[in-house]
């Protein structure tokens, strides 16, 4: 075991003891984990190094001192030991993850160039091979369980849809270098307000995320691990962001390069298409939703099936099995960009998943803390909105596409057509509210095109307020 791996192991053992652990107990834990005794003086030097790097903290005096994990999400292993220098934001890593990180951080000239290894995909056998160990899968299921587990696919995601749209659109875009703040993102998504000083591509990226997430939630029972879903998911996420519009939703036909890595993606279009379809076949056959999600995060960016936007497709697509099984979604909120990038590079260059696994598990726990904590304060969904969901979409489309005025007579006619006699008055109110709240940032929710909304907006009278 290298010194880096040893330090990471000690750090992980301390992280398991939130109340602190003394040096004697730590010696025993190390001996049990490694199968060999460790000298007290060696252990003390290791602890001094971890303290200096601010990866752990010490409390108490003399023989009563105990060691505790540092604040979650902070890793100062590469921060300079100088006053005033902030620790690097990172996720807690396993010894295996630390070893991958060490190799990925070598200068490019010291990393061996590698190409796409088809065997890495072919060797994976659904239901037999697992990137996530059973203990981790059980932990994720325990964390991600929601109160609506037995209801139709997508129910939980719809319950938290407004918050998820903002969080996931912002966090996923931020991992691509987008400078929108969460508040900017919320204003754009909820009110169609473009942030000042941001370029059009950043705004488009946020809106594309919103449309993609809505697509998965609205069609939760239909979407799956198939070429149609993922090519359309790419088309939505890449809209107006690629040099060639025809490349949106199309498997790439030319070589691509990735900066900051010695990995060279697959170049032959026919082989790429074969691998893409094999990847989706394997993903569809995986029995566990968390393994499905993580498999996609590993294999899809590694294959690079599209000219760009591959990681975005993998992050949003990873939520498909979670949404379908009414598990807590994965928003990537607070995930440090460097940790995510280095985990992905570990797959690209080493075909090793442990560092990305550390990021995935930490990110999912963070998402669960965020969403499951607010569930108890959420208002119970209106049963009529659930009952007439499709009818309400049809009614909104009828008004907008027909360039109709949203007046009481039009609303009443649609209510009479689409709702039962007992529900017509309530349906009319739902439709009136939906039309009043409709704006450019919410048209996809009603399966409308932006051009259709703008045409309707240009000719309709203003709907009176209550």
- Three-state secondary structure call for residue 151: coil
Say yes or no: 161 and 267 in one domain. Answer: yes
Q: Are residues 192 and 229 in the same domain?
A: yes
Counted domains in the chain: 3
Mean of all residue pLDDT scores within the chain: 88
Q: The domain containing residue 127 runs over which residues?
A: 108-375
Tens digit of each residue's pLDDT (9 = 90 or more) over 350-389:
999 999 999 999 999 999 988 876 654 454 557 788 788 8
Structure tokens at 225: 């691990």
Q: What does the pLDDT read at residue 36? A: 78
Range with the lowest mean pLDDT among 31-45, 139-153, 186-200, 438-452? 31-45
Opening angle at CA 447, ends 445 and 449, nearest 5:
105
Torsion-angle region of 378 (φ positive above 0: left; ψ -120 to 50: alpha; else: beta): beta
Residue bearing the bigger pLDDT, 386 or 337: 337
| pLDDT mean over 288-316 | 98
CATH number at residue 160: 1.10.3290.10
> Is the pLDDT higher at 211 or at 437?
211
Model confidence at 390: pLDDT above 80: yes
Binding-site members for ATP are 308-315
302: nearest Cα among 260, 264, 248: 264
Residues ≥6 apart with Cβ < 8 Å to 80: none
Using one digit for the tens of pLDDT, what is the confidence trace for 169-219?
Answer: 999 999 999 999 999 999 999 889 999 999 999 999 999 999 999 999 998
Query: Beta strands 263-264 and 114-115: pairing type?
Result: parallel
- The predicted pLDDT at position 150 comes to 79
* Same domain for 214 and 181: yes
Would residue 99 count as lying in a domain?
A: no
Across 252-351, where does the E strand assignment appear?
263-264
Residues forming a β-bridge with 114? 263
Both 371 and 387 in one domain: the answer is no
Specify the pLDDT at position 338: 94
pLDDT above 90: residue 231:
yes
% residues pLDDT > 70 (the chain)? 91
Give the per-residue SS3 of 61-130. CHHHCEEEECCCCEECCCCCCCCCCCCEECCCCCHHHHHHHHHHCCCHHHCCCEECCHHHHHCCCECCEC
Annotated binding site: 308-315
Specify if 464 maps to a domain.
no
DSSP, residue by residue, 155-205: HHHHHTHHHHHHHHHHHHHHTTT----HHHHHHHHHH--PPTT--HHHHHH
Q: Does 320 reside within a domain?
A: yes
pLDDT for 381 equals: 57
Checking if the pLDDT of 103 tops 70, the result is: yes
Residue with tokens 């240009």: 458
Is 101 a member of any domain? no
Angle, vertex CA 327, rays to CA 322 and CA 329, nearest 5: 60
Q: With beta carbons less than 8 A apart as the criterion, state whether 274 and 124 touch.
A: no
The pLDDT, as a whole number, for residue 31 is 83
Give me the mean pLDDT over the 381-404 stretch.
Answer: 87
* Least confident residue range of 58-72, 319-333, 375-389: 375-389
Quickly state the pLDDT bin for 76 (edges 50, 70, 90).
very low
The domain boundary residue, chosen from 314, 341, 375 = 375
pLDDT at 71: 54
Same domain, 371 and 437: no
């Amino acid at each position: 075991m290298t010194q880096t791996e040893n330090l990471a192991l000690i750090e992980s053992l301390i992280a398991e003891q939130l109340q602190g652990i003394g040096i004697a107990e730590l010696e025993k834990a190390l001996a049990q984990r490694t199968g060999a005794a460790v000298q007290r003086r060696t252990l003390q030097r290791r602890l001094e190094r971890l303290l200096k790097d601010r990866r752990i903290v010490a409390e108490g005096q003399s023989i009563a001192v105990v060691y505790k994990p540092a604040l979650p999400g902070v890793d100062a292993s590469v921060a300079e030991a100088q006053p005033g220098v902030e620790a690097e934001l990172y996720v807690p890593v396993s010894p295996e993850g630390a070893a991958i990180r060490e190799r990925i951080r070598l200068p490019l000239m010291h990393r061996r160039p590698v190409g796409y290894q088809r065997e890495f995909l072919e060797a994976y056998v659904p239901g037999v091979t697992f990137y996530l160990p059973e203990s981790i899968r059980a932990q994720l299921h325990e964390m991600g369980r929601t109160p609506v587990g037995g209801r139709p696919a997508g129910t939980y995601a719809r319950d938290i849809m407004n918050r998820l749209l903002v969080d996931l659109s912002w966090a996923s875009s931020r991992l691509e270098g987008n400078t929108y703040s969460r508040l900017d993102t919320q204003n754009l998504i909820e009110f169609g307000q473009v942030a000042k000083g941001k370029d059009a591509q950043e705004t488009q990226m946020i809106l594309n995320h919103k449309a993609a997430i809505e697509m998965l939630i609205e069609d939760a029972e239909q979407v799956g691990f198939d070429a149609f879903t993922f090519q359309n998911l790419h088309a939505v996420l890449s809209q107006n962001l690629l040099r060639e519009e025809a490349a949106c939703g199309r498997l790439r036909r030319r070589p691509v390069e990735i900066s900051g890595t010695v990995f060279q993606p697959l170049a032959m279009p026919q082989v790429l298409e074969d691998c893409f379809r094999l990847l989706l076949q394997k993903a569809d056959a995986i029995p566990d939703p968390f393994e499905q999600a993580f498999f996609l995060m590993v294999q899809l960016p590694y294959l690079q099936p599209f000219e760009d936007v591959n990681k975005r497709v993998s992050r949003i697509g990873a939520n498909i099995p979670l949404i379908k099984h009414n598990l807590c979604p994965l928003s990537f909120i607070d995930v440090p960009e460097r940790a995510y990038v280095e985990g992905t590079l570990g797959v690209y260059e080493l075909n090793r998943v442990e560092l990305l696994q550390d990021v995935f598990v930490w990110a999912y726990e963070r998402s669960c803390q965020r969403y499951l904590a607010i569930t108890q304060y959420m208002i119970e969904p209106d049963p009529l909105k659930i009952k007439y969901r499709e009818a309400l979409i049809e009614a909104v489309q009828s008004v907008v596409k027909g360039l109709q005025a949203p007046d009481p007579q039009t609303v009443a006619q649609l209510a009479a057509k689409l709702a039962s006699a007992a529900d017509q008055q309530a349906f009319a109110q739902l439709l009136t509210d939906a039309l009043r709240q409709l704006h450019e940032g919410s048209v996809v929710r009603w399966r409308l095109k932006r051009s259709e909304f703008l045409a309707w907006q240009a000719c309709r009278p203003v709907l009176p307020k209550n």
